[in-house]
């Protein structure tokens, strides 16, 4: 169901400069339903997952009643296809999980409204755009509050497109190009952690990964994208941009809604997508599916232990019945197909599920080596069971 203001009310609001955002933000949103701010230029798809998607530059509406933005430093080019891609990622996550990410879209063309700037540059004093700016960011704030209520922790992802020469995805953590060129030891110092849009995650993640590992280690967002055939920087495969490379490190939204400045519970990543994967229909479809999978994997790898309520079953709950004395290890991890199991258990069955809990492998009877070369690159859970009892569980990354 879509919730919108009647046209006569919209006209009245524009004339009077009034706002319904406070009422909208205070109401209880229903996951899966669509809402609009008082200007009807900001769309909110209510969610129930610890994921918030935002597309500030993908809209195409250019009403004649709203003046074009014009200033010395104004960027007015639209990030083509980013709204479509964001909607596609939203739908792919719903299809995979049966649950909903929070999604906020600016429907106006960037020449009218830049939702990734402070209000002065975003609106240039135009009342209806100032109203839309407040609506956009208050709806993200509302989504963040909902994520914190249900999960304690979550991730905000701001979707953009770039036109740089190097065809790869650029990931913005508010760490500059020159800073990414530093050693891991330097990136892991407090000064750079405090600059990072995933500052809170650095201090609290499942595997106790360092800042540099979260940026470009085995389980980094860019590394997971690279395993899907999407070259990304920073990542294990491509640790930093070169001096001559253009690079976007993050913008206003990553600062405002990430954990850098407030040490809050919502981290942020800016995703800058290259033209080759945005403009080609087949590449775009692959991008959408891969982004959805990687987002789910990233949440699984780094945030799951902090969830208070797993009401959407996005991550398999394997805590019930686990015997902590019967743990096991797997190696290598990440693996490219062959996986060894080391355990003191004499008898067990092997169950493997993907990041959304779907069973992908079963082996009855103990074995110390598995051939998992048939699995796609991604994140998996290996469980040992016997007679219905969980004996242990370990995370596994399959790389290619």
Q: Where in the chain is the domain with CATH 3.40.630.40?
A: 2-306
Q: Residue 262: its pLDDT value, please?
A: 83
Identify the pLDDT of residue 123: 94
Residue 219 confidence (pLDDT) above 80: yes
The answer to whether residues 141 and 239 touch, using CB atoms and an 8 Å cutoff, is no
CATH 2.60.40.10 is right for the domain spanning 328-398 = yes
Indicate where the chain has its CATH 2.60.40.10 domain(s).
328-398
Query: pLDDT tens digits, residue range 50-94?
Result: 999 999 999 999 999 999 998 888 899 999 999 999 999 999 998
Residue 345: the pLDDT is 76
Confidence at residue 342, expressed as pLDDT on a 0 to 100 scale? 84
SS3 letters for the chain? Answer: CEECCCHHHHHHHHHHCCCCHHHHHHCCCCCCCEEECCCCCEEEECCCCCEEEEECCCCCECCCCCCCCCCCCCCCCCCCCHHHHHHHHHHHHHHHHCCCCEEEEECECCCCCCCCCCHHHHHCCCHHHHHHHHHHHHHHHHHHHHHHHHHCCEEEEEEEECCCCCCCEEEECCCCHHHHCCCHHHHCCHHHHCCCCCHHHHHCCCCCCCHHHHHHCCCCHHHHHHHCCCCEECCCCCCCCCCCCCCCCCCHHHHHHCCCCCCCCEEEEEEEECHHHHHCHHHHHHHHHHHHHHHHHHHHHHCHHHCCCCCCCCCCCCCCCCCCCCCEEEECCCECCEEEEEECCCCCEEEEEECCCCEEEEECCCCCEEECCCCCCEEEEEEEEECCEEEEEEEEEECC
Tell me the per-residue pLDDT of 308-359, one tens digit each, with 9 for 90 and over.
444 454 333 333 344 444 567 888 878 888 898 888 777 888 888 876 667 8
Compare 82 and 400 and report the one with higher pLDDT.
82
Q: Note the pLDDT of residue 8.
A: 34
pLDDT at 154: 95
Task: Check pLDDT > 80 for residue 363.
Answer: yes
Residues above pLDDT 90, as percent of the chain:
62
Model confidence at 386: pLDDT above 80: no
Q: Output 185-190 pairs: Cβ under 8 A, ≥24 positions apart.
A: 185/212, 187/211, 187/212, 187/215, 188/212
**237-252 pLDDT per residue, tens:** 999 999 999 999 999 9
- pLDDT at site 325: 45
Residue 261 has pLDDT above 70, yes or no: yes
Mean pLDDT of the chain: 86
The DSSP bridge pattern shows strands 42-45 and 34-36 to be: antiparallel
Give pLDDT tens digits for 95-130: 888 889 999 999 999 999 999 999 999 999 999 999
What does the CA dihedral 256, 257, 260, 265 come to, rounded to 10 degrees? 150
pTM: 0.77
Quick one: what percent of the chain has pLDDT higher than 70?
86
The predicted structure's pLDDT at residue 9: 34
Strands 34-36 and 2-3: parallel
pLDDT of residue 322: 40
pLDDT at position 20, please?
Answer: 43
pLDDT at residue 248 in the model: 98
Considering the domain 2-306, what is its CATH architecture? Answer: 3-Layer(aba) Sandwich (3.40)
pLDDT, tens digit, for every residue of 133-186?
999 999 999 999 999 988 889 999 999 999 999 999 999 999 999 999 999 999
């Amino acid at each position: 169901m879509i919730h919108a203001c009647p046209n006569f009310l919209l006209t009245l609001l524009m004339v009077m400069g009034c706002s319904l955002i406070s009422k909208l933000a205070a109401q209880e949103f229903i996951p899966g339903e669509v809402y609009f701010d008082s200007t009807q230029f900001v769309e909110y798809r209510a969610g129930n997952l610890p994921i918030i998607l935002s597309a500030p530059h993908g809209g195409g509406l250019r009403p004649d009643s709203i003046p074009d933005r014009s200033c010395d430093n104004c960027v007015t080019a639209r990030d083509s296809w980013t709204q479509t891609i964001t909607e596609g990622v939203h739908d792919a996550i719903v299809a995979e999980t049966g649950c909903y990410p929070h999604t906020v879209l600016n429907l106006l063309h960037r020449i009218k409204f830049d939702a990734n700037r402070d209000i002065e540059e975003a609106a240039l004093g135009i009342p209806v755009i100032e109203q839309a700016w407040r609506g956009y960011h208050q709806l993200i704030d509302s989504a963040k509050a909902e994520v914190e209520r249900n999960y304690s922790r979550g991730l905000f992802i701001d979707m953009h497109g770039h036109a740089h020469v190097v065809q790869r995805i650029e990931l913005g953590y508010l760490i500059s190009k020159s800073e990414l060129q530093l050693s891991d030891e330097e990136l892991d110092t407090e000064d750079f952690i405090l600059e990072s849009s995933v500052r809170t995650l650095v201090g609290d993640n499942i595997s106790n990964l360092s800042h540099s590992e979260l940026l470009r280690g085995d389980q980094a967002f860019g590394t997971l994208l690279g395993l899907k055939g999407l070259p990304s920087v920073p990542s294990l495969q491509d640790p930093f941009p070169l001096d001559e490379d253009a690079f976007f490190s993050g913008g206003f939204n990553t600062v405002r809604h990430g954990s850098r400045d407030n040490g809050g519970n919502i981290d942020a990543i800016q995703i800058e997508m290259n033209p080759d994967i945005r403009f080609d229909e087949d590449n775009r479809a692959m991008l959408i599916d891969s982004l959805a999978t990687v987002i789910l994997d990233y949440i699984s790898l780094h945030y799951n232990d902090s969830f208070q309520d797993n009401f959407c079953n996005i991550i398999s709950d394997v805590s019930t019945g686990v015997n902590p004395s019967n743990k096991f290890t797997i190696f290598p991890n990440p693996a490219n197909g062959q996986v060894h199991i080391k355990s003191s258990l004499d008898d067990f069955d092997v169950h493997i599920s993907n990041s959304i809990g779907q069973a992908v492998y079963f082996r009855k009877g103990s074995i110390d080596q598995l051939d998992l070369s048939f699995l796609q690159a991604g994140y998996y859970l290996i469980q040992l069971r016997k007679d219905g009892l969980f004996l242990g569980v370990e995370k596994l990354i399959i790389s290619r």
